[in-house]
Structure 1
């Protein structure tokens, strides 16, 4: 059966009048932001990787900003928040996160999602909900898992780093994974951007796959965020033709081994209702260290 793709609508809402104590971070704030990120390398790996790539608190992505909330002394950075196509709170309490939520509302920017530690993520979403921004889906309980050593089970030797010549097949598998996960095609928001993202993952050695001789992808996973301390595994997908054969655990063990070439800790977050995936991750040796949430628009 073919699933009809959809685009999550961004609902209009009136500009707010909330006075925000938040300000956009500048280059001079980079060291303070790095220190904030270092409090939790696992939870903050996504933003950590971006700051390392840019070598600055100022994003290079058009339309993106890094917000900061400072302590009463006006000097100490108490919390931060990445605002781009996604909104990602950094070391924020639920109360602090509401200020980021008001900033987002007041600036009327479009976002695909909010994700990160559950309490601040849901606090931002609640501010937006009250302002009339309706989420398409709220995933409020996503266990954040890590493994800091070799996997507990033997790894599949078939999983390899994807090569540039596999781009077309990897792109199709990545798009199928995306649509299965969020309910609409990634190409609807602009095929070029998604193609560039997949090409970037392959060129950096962050796309991992096992393909049949004729090229069809059997299993794939990405290292979606990479730092010297932590990798974050994303985009895990098994071809439907090979599901139910008990292959996933050995593939995931191989993902862990390959990720350890970049950093000592591998992490991921998973929907709480995905019982099969959680069982696989536990079998491989992942343990829960926190709880994330994702709000999709």
Structure 2
């Protein structure tokens, strides 16, 4: 049995970057969101938008936890989760959500709930879906294209509607939406926001929210309520998937609420298959 001196937990520093990448690479699909941030920002807390906590066993980095706007356990077994929960409890809640693989996230929340609870909502099963191939049975919508910078004002209301519908609160609350607007602008500028327009109206939209050289994650899938039931989600996703695999990463992924049977069926039609499950705790 390991002695207590063999276990340490601390904030990672720039020199830990190679070891951090090794941990992220253990599951590049599930870790795509955090891996993409590390790929751009390294481990500098200011650029990363939060701290990266590391759990070491016999001097080797074995697990991590991203502590920013989200609290995200990465490759964390029970011992590591307990250590991260202790650190989070002492620090106090600074995140708006806890999100990650079901097992580690459920344990993390169980340990933190007595101190941080109650949550606004707990989504305890969000299937993680992925594919390595473009849609074979669905023709991509030829009208789905990259959103231009001068179309930001047209896209933003659709993004706000999607976020509010999905999360239950408006992203414009608090700071008036400054951070959210900046994030949408970043996606548009980076060529990762896609939409089908009819006139000035967004009918379908989705973004490639995170991308590494191993996997990317599609997010923000939304169809205008007045246009639902016409196949826009399926054909639109086929179009976005084609670009994602051709230009960004060899694997495209997303996660979806288990109760959203319509969306899950649409993603399956495009070729996505369930490979795991996430859990989200929303505050």
Q: TM-score, normalised by structure 1?
A: 0.89
CA distance 1:178–1:158, shift in 2 (3 Å): same
Distance 2:15 2:56 in 1: 14
How many pairs does the alignment contain?
A: 274
Superposed counterparts of 1:40-59, under 5 Å: 40-54=27-41, 56-59=42-45
Note if contact 1:249-1:281 (Cα within 8 Å) is conserved in structure 2. Answer: yes
**Which consecutive residues of structure 1, in runs of 5 or more, have no partner in the other structure?**
1-19
Q: Is 156-165 or 130-139 further displaced after alignment?
A: 130-139
Matched, 1:269 2:255: yes
Note if contact 1:207-1:222 (Cα within 8 Å) is conserved in structure 2. Answer: yes
Please tell me the root mean square deviation across aligned C-alpha atoms, in Å: 1.4
1:33 corresponds to: 20
Cα distance per residue 1:231-251 (max 9 Å; x no partner): 100111100110112221111
- Report the secondary structure of 2:248's partner residue: coil
- Report the secondary structure of 1:278's partner residue: helix
Matched, 1:105 2:89: yes
Note if contact 1:212-1:218 (Cα within 8 Å) is conserved in structure 2. Answer: yes
Note if contact 1:229-1:263 (Cα within 8 Å) is conserved in structure 2. Answer: yes
1:257 corresponds to: 242
2:55 corresponds to: 69
- Report the secondary structure of 2:207's partner residue: strand
Cα distance per residue 1:6-39 (max 9 Å; x no partner): xxxxxxxxxxxxxx94210011111000011011
2:172 to 180, 187, 199: 187
Distance 1:63 1:149 in 2: 33
Distance 1:166 1:145 in 2: 30
Matched, 1:209 2:195: yes
CA distance 1:264–1:63, shift in 2 (3 Å): closer
Extract structure 1 runs of 4+ deviating beyond 3 A: none
Distance 1:58 1:70 in 2: 19
Q: TM-score, normalised by structure 2?
A: 0.94
Note if contact 1:101-1:123 (Cα within 8 Å) is conserved in structure 2. Answer: no
**Which consecutive residues of structure 2, in runs of 5 or more, have no partner in the other structure?**
1-6
Task: Give the superposition deviation at 1:258.
Answer: 1.3
1:240 corresponds to: 225
Distance 1:62 1:286 in 2: 30
- Report the secondary structure of 1:187's partner residue: coil
